[in-house]
């Protein structure tokens, strides 16, 4: 058994971007499972060294290698950072603690590429490439082994391709022209050039189609032999849902509609529950979720966004912007169910999609939701409207609005349906607004929507003034860390950053 001190020493010594040793994922992965998440998959550590040769000698060890990725995602602040930082960059969150040196750089859109002076602007880049390295290592190891059963090997390969696509999706949307790293060979990875956005998106699409072919629609347990109610390992529908999103972002309207429809029509797996159930463990809306593993925490989102009795502070340092709150219409129950209020000298509003601030992960009632059904309706709505099928697109928007409609009848005609008399431009504006109200503080959607719809330069100047900053167009992309560029002369910095 390795000691915790040894683990800490290893973590401190390795470079976060491109790892030189394939041993890292398995060392970190097994130790994380052993110390933090015995419930997720119960597996003993290997008796000897941990390396690519002995990880893939049996099903249990191979499964644990992929499980370690989910464990790390859940036990770290990875999902939370992809919620907080892009939302702060956009107009959904306001920063309460202006002395928070990490958050302020995102909030004011003042990210610096200089590694030595601004470590905070490197965190997402580093984390995403770290996870991609894990995926590449898994794909390489699984490809070489003959000691893992065919079904298990196929499913794990599908998970690895899906995960790699997922991480590259965020890299492309945050940084755009990024290197496509497909190996664990540092000598190759350290010399890669920036790939074009289209090349990166093409790689994501290729990986997702591989995942679709390798995975089934079943949710499988820790042995990958049995179906389960737990939705914590991606299935083929997770790949389909992410592919629908990718097509939308690439303006492939036909593809986006087709893929989203596959998920929406899978009614034996997915239906829209009421608002209170949307973020519960194994909700019927959940396509993929992360199981809690951290001590005394259900979700990192609940722990962060829900205030303690003292209200916002240096730990819970954001609140919802007044601009977002004003967009909720009368009778929209999302305003009641998903927004809480702290009433002190000043009223601060905060997200309550997750209701539990602290709780035993072994009996968790909430999971971090990564992919959910409501997004698929909104993807299909936008794709249909873009194709001129305006009324059909509006019908999908109204599915989401119907769920959000207050049943208390305190407002006459609460949250009425959107009519069929909208122009294409107005219908697109309606779906963008609905995405904001439905998906706020989830996985960077608002920031990405402003960028992909070319509205960011219209929205952000006024928003920046409210933040006490100023807006420049180049800030719609985050800077590539200077440390990466100094170690690889082939990399080019995003425009505007010196």
What is the average pLDDT across 126-151?
A: 95
Give dist(CA 240, CA 375) in Å, integer.
Answer: 12
Bin 444: left if φ > 0, else alpha if -120 < ψ < 50, else beta.
left
Give dist(CA 47, CA 57) in Å, integer.
Answer: 13
| pLDDT higher than 60, residue 264 | yes
Extended strands (E) in 34-117: 93-95
Residue 48 confidence class, pLDDT cut points 50, 70, 90: very low
**Among 162-176, 365-379, 449-463, 479-493, the least confident range:** 479-493
Residue 102 confidence class, pLDDT cut points 50, 70, 90: confident
Residue 74 · residue 291 · CB < 8 Å: yes
| pLDDT higher than 70, residue 184 | yes
Give dist(CA 249, CA 292) in Å, integer.
Answer: 30
Q: CA of 126: how far to CAs of 20, 103, 422, 481, in Å?
A: 14, 17, 44, 9
Q: Which residue has the higher pLDDT, 490 or 13?
A: 490
Give the count of beta carbons closer than 10 Å to the beta carbon of residue 117.
9
State the DSSP code for 421. -
Residue 474 · residue 418 · CB < 8 Å: no
Residue 115 confidence class, pLDDT cut points 50, 70, 90: low
226: exposed, middle or buried (C-beta count within 10 Å: 0-12, 13-18, 19+)? exposed
pLDDT of res. 411: 81
What is the average pLDDT across 337-359?
A: 94
State the DSSP code for 495. T
Q: Where are the alpha helices (DSSP H) in 176-235?
A: 186-189, 197-214
Q: Which residue has the higher pLDDT, 32 or 346?
A: 346
pLDDT of res. 297: 87
What is the average pLDDT across 129-146?
A: 95
Name 472's Cβ contacts closer than 8 Å, sequence gap at least 6.
109, 496
Residue 1 confidence class, pLDDT cut points 50, 70, 90: very low
Give dist(CA 474, CA 387) in Å, integer.
Answer: 30
Name 257's Cβ contacts closer than 8 Å, sequence gap at least 6.
380, 383, 384, 387
| pLDDT higher than 60, residue 294 | yes
State the DSSP code for 108. T
Q: Which residue has the higher pLDDT, 2 or 60?
A: 60
Q: For strand 286-290 and strand 339-343, is the pairing parallel, antiparallel, or unpaired? A: unpaired
The mean of the pLDDT values for the chain is 88
Secondary structure tally for the chain: helices H, strands E: 21, 6
Residue 498 confidence class, pLDDT cut points 50, 70, 90: confident
Entry pTM = 0.90
What is the average pLDDT across 9-14?
A: 36
The model's pLDDT over 211-250, given as tens digits with 9 standing for 90+, comes to 999 999 999 999 999 999 999 999 999 999 999 999 999 9
Residue 300 · residue 368 · CB < 8 Å: yes
Cα-to-chain-centroid distance, residue 358: 21
Q: Which of 54-63, 103-112, 206-215 has the highest mean pLDDT?
A: 206-215
Give dist(CA 221, CA 60) in Å, integer.
Answer: 12
The model's pLDDT over 400-424, given as tens digits with 9 standing for 90+, comes to 999 999 887 778 889 999 999 999 9
pLDDT of res. 54: 67
């Amino acid at each position: 058994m390795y000691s915790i001190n040894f683990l800490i020493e290893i973590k401190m010594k390795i470079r976060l971007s491109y790892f030189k040793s394939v041993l890292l994922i398995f060392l970190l992965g097994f130790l994380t499972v052993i110390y933090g998440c015995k419930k997720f998959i119960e597996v003993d550590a290997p008796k000897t060294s941990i390396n690519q040769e002995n990880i893939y000698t049996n099903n249990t060890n191979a499964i644990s290698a992929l499980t370690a990725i989910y464990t790390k995602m859940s036990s770290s602040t990875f999902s939370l950072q992809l919620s907080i930082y892009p939302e702060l960059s956009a107009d959904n969150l306001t920063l309460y603690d202006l002395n928070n040196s990490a958050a302020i750089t995102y909030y004011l859109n003042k990210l610096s590429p200089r590694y030595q002076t601004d470590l905070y602007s490197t965190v997402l880049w580093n984390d995403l490439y770290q996870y991609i390295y894990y995926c590449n290592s898994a794909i390489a190891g699984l490809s070489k082994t003959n000691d893992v059963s065919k079904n298990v090997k196929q499913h794990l390969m599908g998970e690895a391709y899906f995960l790699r696509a997922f991480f590259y999706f965020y890299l492309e949307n945050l940084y755009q022209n990024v290197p496509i790293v497909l190996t664990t060979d540092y000598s190759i990875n350290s010399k890669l050039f920036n790939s074009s956005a289209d090349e990166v998106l093409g790689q994501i699409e290729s990986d997702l189609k591989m995942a679709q072919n390798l995975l089934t629609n079943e949710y499988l347990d820790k042995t990958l032999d049995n179906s389960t109610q737990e939705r914590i390992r991606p299935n083929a529908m997770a790949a389909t849902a992410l592919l629908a999103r990718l097509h939308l972002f690439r303006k492939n309207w036909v593809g986006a509609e087709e893929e989203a429809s596959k998920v929406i029509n899978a009614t034996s797996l997915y239906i829209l529950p009421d608002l209170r159930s949307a973020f519960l463990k194994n909700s019927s809306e959940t396509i993929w979720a992360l199981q809690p593993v951290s001590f005394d925490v259900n979700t990192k989102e609940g722990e962060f966004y829900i205030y303690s009795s003292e209200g916002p502070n240096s730990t819970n340092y954001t609140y919802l912007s007044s601009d977002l709150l004003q967009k909720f219409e009368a009778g929209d129950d999302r305003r009641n169910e998903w927004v809480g209020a702290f009433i002190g000298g000043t009223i601060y509003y905060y997200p309550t999609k997750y209701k539990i601030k602290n709780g035993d992960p072994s009996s968790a009632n909430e999971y971090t939701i990564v992919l959910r059904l409501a997004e698929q309706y909104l993807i299909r709505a936008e794709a249909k409207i873009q194709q001129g099928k305006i009324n059909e697109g509006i019908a999908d928007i109204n599915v989401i609005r119907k769920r959000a409609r207050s049943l208390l009848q305190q407002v006459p005609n609460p949250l009425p349906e959107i009519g069929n008399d909208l122009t294409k431009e107005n219908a697109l504006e309606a779906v963008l607004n609905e995405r904001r109200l439905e998906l706020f503080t989830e996985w960077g959607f608002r920031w990405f929507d402003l960028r992909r719809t070319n509205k960011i330069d219209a929205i952000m100047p006024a928003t920046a003034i409210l933040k006490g900053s100023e807006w420049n167009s180049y800030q719609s992309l985050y800077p590539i860390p200077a440390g990466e560029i100094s170690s690889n002369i082939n990399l080019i910095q995003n425009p505007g950053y010196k």
